[in-house]
Amino acid sequence: MSDRRRALPALATLTRRPRPELRPPAPVAPAPARRSRMVDNAVYAAGRRIATPSSAAESRAELDGEPGRLAWLGLYRPEPHELGRLAELFDLPELAVEDAITAHQRPKFERYGGTLFVVLKAARYRDVTEEVEFGELHLFLGRDFAISVRHSESPDLSRVRRRLESEPALLAKGSEAVLYAVLDAVVDGYSPVVAGLANDIDEIETQVFGGDPRVSRRIYELSQEVLEFQRAAQPLTGILAAIQAGFDKYGVDEELRGYLRDVADHVVQVNERVEAFRMQLRDILTVNATLVAQRQNEEIRELTEASIAQGEEVKKISAWAAILFAPTLVGTVYGMNFEAMPELGWAFGYPFALVLMAGVSSALYVVFKRRDWI
């Protein structure tokens, strides 16, 4: 018994599997901190920057209990959680926040109680590709705050901010001054687009009358660019009309009223030019189609004339071939050298054959001549 007991440990040693080496768990990388999309954040008093908070909460704290101040927060493609935080701090309307998160909205103007929500389409012309590049901009405007949300590189709101900061008297008028400055920048950005489109239309007219076959595609593509531009600029007429309708109700400053009317006049001019472009391109497309049809008709006429001339030549060749075929046939028949053939022994057989060949050929010549085949 004792020997068996002593053998068990040895057996256990042989059959025991080696334990895997225990390794410490791999360190878990910390989650990357969310990057703020806040481009600029400032608090103004009497039109002058008095603070540059590092967060929206600090801006809200700067406003609480201090009437007459204005916070302007600028964001570039913010995350949904950032807009959600802003909505909590500044009591932004839920539907407007959803639109700002989703983007791809049409230009519009909406009022939610004391908060304005404005969607604008900025435009920038690229001459190399002959394309109009559009940028979307959302504005939340309240009594003491302005929040701008950009979803593209244009417009450059840093220039707008510098302009207003250089005019404290204008910025002191509140969030309406921010609305005016942004609208003015967007509409001013339309002028180079209008100039670029006008230049392209002039080039297209030259191509149309020069007979360039590629011009039809260019007309179509430019027409699409004009339509997209019209969709961006045309709603501004209604937006500015709605803003002007609330001048008296919301006590908009008289100076700002004049500025906004001036922007409205510029929008009307832009829309008139764009509508003229659309009509002009439609007429150019019609003229180009007419010119193409004329060129095709000319080519068809030339082909028809060539075909008729070829037919006339074929008729002449056929007529002469028929005339020459008659003597060839007679000569071939009498040249077969058979003994039992009529008129072989006739003294007038040869002259008769010549007269027969000449007569048939003459008769065919007269017939073809009367039918203008010869």
**Alpha-carbon dihedral angle through residues 28, 34, 35, 38, given to the nearest 10 degrees:** -170
Q: In what order do the strands lie in the sheet with 69-76?
A: 48-51, 38-45, 69-76, 145-150, 131-141, 115-126, 108-112
pLDDT at 155: 81
- Find the mean pLDDT for residues 44-53: 94
The answer to whether the beta carbons of residues 189 and 122 sit under 8 Å apart is yes
Answer whether 133's CB lies under 8 Å from 111's CB. no
CATH C-level class of 309-370 = mainly alpha
Class of domain 38-294: alpha beta
Ordered by start, the domain boundaries in the chain are 38-294, 309-370
pLDDT value of residue 66: 82
Mean pLDDT, range 179-190, rounded to an integer = 94
Closest CA to 155 of 182, 192, 132, 130: 182
What is the band of 12 on the pLDDT scale with cuts at 50, 70, 90? Answer: very low
- Which pair of structure tokens corresponds to residue 308? 């008729």
Q: With a cut of 70, say whether residue 360 has pLDDT above it.
A: yes
pLDDT of residue 13 exceeding 80, the answer is no
Q: Rounded to an integer, what distance in angstroms lies between the CA atom of residue 336 and that of residue 332?
A: 7
Model confidence at 310, in pLDDT bands (50, 70, 90)? confident
Region 287-304 average pLDDT: 83
Output phi, psi for 288, to 5 deg: -65, -40
pTM summary value: 0.72
8 Å CB contact between 319 and 372: no
> 132, 225 in Cβ contact below 8 A?
yes
Mean local confidence (pLDDT), 91-103: 90
Q: How confident is the model at residue 341 (pLDDT cuts 50, 70, 90)?
A: low
Read off the pLDDT of residues 152-166 as tens digits, 9 standing for 90 and up: 887 889 999 999 999
Q: Would you state the pLDDT for residue 234?
A: 93
Side chain identity, residue 264: A
What CA–CA distance (Å, rounded) separates 289 from 254?
Answer: 53
